[in-house]
Structure 1
Amino acid sequence: MSGIIDFHTHAFPDRVATAAIPALEAEGNIRAHLDGTVAGLLASMDRAGIDRSVVCSIATRPEQFEPILRWSRAIRSERIIPLPSLHP
């Protein structure tokens, strides 16, 4: 292991990623490099020699906090370090 940690990554639950990535591509007028899933992130990490990634979530509404927290707990692993989002 190289000890490399990517401290700023994003991923979504699989069912959210299929809608979120196209929406973000359209909003930003830029093509995504990955599919927005944790599996896609892990595959990219393997290709790049990255050991761990911090997954930063995005809460745009207060009611998203609890689902994001549950998902963050579910994806936590040796390689994935979740950083759950808070909403003011």
Structure 2
Amino acid sequence: MRRVLTGFSIFALTVVFLGGGFSSAGEVYAAEINSKLNISGYEETSVARAEETVWYYRLQNGVTEKRLWSITRRVWLTDWMPA
């Protein structure tokens, strides 16, 4: 009896893993989920965003100067100029 159960278990696992009748229902379900979620493949999407900037001011030799800083890229966009 033990040999029969072991043989049947091995047969059932072989059928499932080698693409027998049991796995086709799983494949259909996975395809349905992929189509609903649109994850069939890797799709790179880019979102256009406005660059965030801020003006910095300083008083240099009695002259007020300003300089533009990019928060998005973390770089100065201008040199110091009179305000």
Instruction: State the TM bucket, normalised to the shorter chain.
Output: under 0.3
Structure with more helix by fraction: 1
Higher relative contact order (CA 8 A, sep 6+): 1
- TM-score, normalised to structure 2, is 0.20
| Greater C-alpha Rg | 2
> By percentage of residues, which structure has more strand?
2
